[in-house]
Amino acid sequence: MNTLTISPKYQVVIPKEIREALHLAPGQKVQIIAHDNRIELVPVQPMRHMRGFLKGIDTDVSCEEDRP
């Protein structure tokens, strides 16, 4: 398990193994989410990287009989 140290300026350094595994780059935006008693960092991806991520999803939606 990797650990971080919070600097006096409240800065943290993401360990090299994590940066490489997630292909993080200097200047890249990361969204921070506080959930219960933890912090999650989620890399923000450009829309062009999202192209095709729903490929193969079943788009057939069934409706109730009284709905058009």
Which has more pLDDT, 42 or 52? 42
- For residue 32, the model assigns a pLDDT of 93
DSSP code for 10: S
- For residue 39, the model assigns a pLDDT of 92
pTM over 0.85: no
- Amino acid at position 48, single letter: R
- For residue 54, the model assigns a pLDDT of 78
- For residue 68, the model assigns a pLDDT of 63
To the nearest 10°, report the CA torsion of 16, 21, 26, 29: -130
